[in-house]
Every structure is written in structure tokens, then in C-alpha cells.
Amino acid sequence: MTAPVWNDRRVTENSVLRDPVNASLAGPHARFRDARGRIQRYHPDVSVFFGHPRELTPQDYADVADLAETNGTVLLRDRATPLPDGWTVIERIGLVQYDGSAVETAAEPEAVRLTAADVPEMTALVERTKPGPFLPRTIELGTYLGIRDGDGALIAMAGERMHPVGWTEISAVCTAPEARGRGLASRLIRAVAHGIRARGEIPFLHTSDDNPARRLYDAMGFSLTSTVPLEVVRVGPER
């Protein structure tokens, strides 16, 4: 297990950015919360993320298993204790977090607010571009903006996901392959961030440590706050 690296002095021991899942589910996103003991997660139709202590006890692991996906997988972030016998790490990534305090924001005249009626088209765009999980009710987490081409097809989008008090995560940033190279992603990021700032909050985002999009985030003025391990874990057969 790799120790977390914290790069931003503002991410103190008590900062909500150290544990944005738990902070979101204990606050603005409490209505999406499923919980057992010290473990909580977003409703499975909303998001894949779990909130849990770094040091998990046998009871914690039992509660994780109880809340696991139907396929027996869970996402564990910054885990500091060994897995139970029979549990397997399927994938491990470096999860990087960026603070958008210094990002210049602007409204985007071409952007339209997406609604539940747009979810099938949003899901199709996500499947083509693979920005990360997007589920049937993910749109309920916050504002999602999109840009359509001349024929009305959705070609780019970005939206809001985790919501610790005072902060909102920008997520699901994606552009159709045929529409890349036009700056649509950066325009939508600035537009979503503009709405976040209008509420008096600060934008932030997550991505993997090997994502080429990090160059864009750096160029836009996002600052790295942390790198922590994120694991996709298959729960053992004893669940």
C-alpha cells in the first residue's frame, strides 16, 4: 500500500479534501447515502464511491461487503490495513486531486444545461470517451453542461460530482473524438467552475496520475493537492 502524498498546505489533517466522499455524504449529498456502521457509500445508481476509515477493522470490512456492488466489487481509497482473506485487488491507480482556486472561470454561451432526459445521450458519450463512472442517476449530483453540434448531437460535457461543504468537484469531462482540438473541454470546465464560484464554493477535481488531461488542468491553473492510491477490490466469496 502506497502512502498518500499531500502537496497543498491548505489540505490539513481536518480538511474535507482529505476525505471528500465521507465529507460529501455527511453534508450536501446525505440524501444519496447508504451506510453500515462506519462505512458509507453513494446509492449504487448514483455513484460508485465508498467512504471508509483508512484503517478498517474486520467489522468495517464486513460492512463494506454488505454494501458491495452486485458483482462483488468496491472502490477503496487510501486503504491502510490488509484486505481480508479471499479479497482481491483488481486494479490500482494513483488518484490525483486538484484545487481550482486559481482557475479563471467564464460562462459558456454555447453550453446548455443537461437534464434527466439527456442521460441516454450522456451515457453514450461517456461510453465512447471513458472519462470515468457515469450512472443512471449521476446527473442528480449537480449541474451538468453540454455542447451540441449543428445537428443537435451531444459532443462534449462536464458536470459536478462530490460536494464537500465549501467545495464542488468537476467531473465527467469528455469530448467526442470528432470534436477534439476545439477547446471544448476547457470551455466547459471554466463554465462549470463559474457556476460553482457563483455559489461561493471552490472547484476541485480528480483524475488518474497517468491521464494526459493533467497537462490541460495544469495549464488552466489547477494546483495539485494530493496523490493517493485508489483500488478496485473484489470482495471475497464469504460475503
Q: How would you write the pLDDT of the chain (239 residues) with one tens digit per residue?
A: 555 554 554 555 448 999 999 999 999 999 999 999 999 999 999 999 999 999 999 999 999 999 998 779 999 999 999 999 999 999 999 999 999 999 999 999 999 999 999 999 999 999 999 999 999 999 999 999 999 999 999 999 999 999 999 999 999 999 999 999 999 999 999 999 999 999 999 999 999 999 999 999 999 999 999 999 999 999 987 54
CATH, residue 66? 3.40.630.30
Q: Is residue 207 part of a domain?
A: yes
Please tell me the predicted confidence (pLDDT) of residue 210.
Answer: 95
Statement to judge: residues 114 and 209 lie in one domain: yes
Statement to judge: residues 221 and 141 lie in one domain: yes
Statement to judge: residues 62 and 165 lie in one domain: no
Statement to judge: residues 196 and 171 lie in one domain: yes
Q: Is residue 5 part of a domain?
A: no
Statement to judge: residues 35 and 88 lie in one domain: yes
Statement to judge: residues 113 and 168 lie in one domain: yes
Local structure of residue 47 (DSSP, 8 states):
-
Statement to judge: residues 107 and 170 lie in one domain: yes
Q: Is residue 4 part of a domain?
A: no
Please tell me the predicted confidence (pLDDT) of residue 92.
Answer: 96
Statement to judge: residues 217 and 176 lie in one domain: yes
Statement to judge: residues 110 and 207 lie in one domain: yes
- Burial degree of 56 (CB within 10 A; 0-12, 13-18, 19+): buried
pTM of the model: 0.92
**Cell representation of residue 116:** 434527466
Q: Is residue 177 part of a domain?
A: yes
Q: Is residue 6 part of a domain?
A: no
Please tell me the predicted confidence (pLDDT) of residue 94.
Answer: 97
Please tell me the predicted confidence (pLDDT) of residue 53.
Answer: 96
Quote the domain boundaries for residue 174.
99-227
Please tell me the predicted confidence (pLDDT) of residue 156.
Answer: 99
Statement to judge: residues 203 and 166 lie in one domain: yes
**Cell representation of residue 78:** 487510501
Q: Per DSSP, what are the bridge partners of residue 65?
A: none
User: What amino acid occupies position 14?
Assistant: N
Domain count, the chain: 2
- Burial degree of 151 (CB within 10 A; 0-12, 13-18, 19+): exposed
Statement to judge: residues 206 and 109 lie in one domain: yes
Backbone angles phi, psi at 221, to 5 degrees: 105, 5
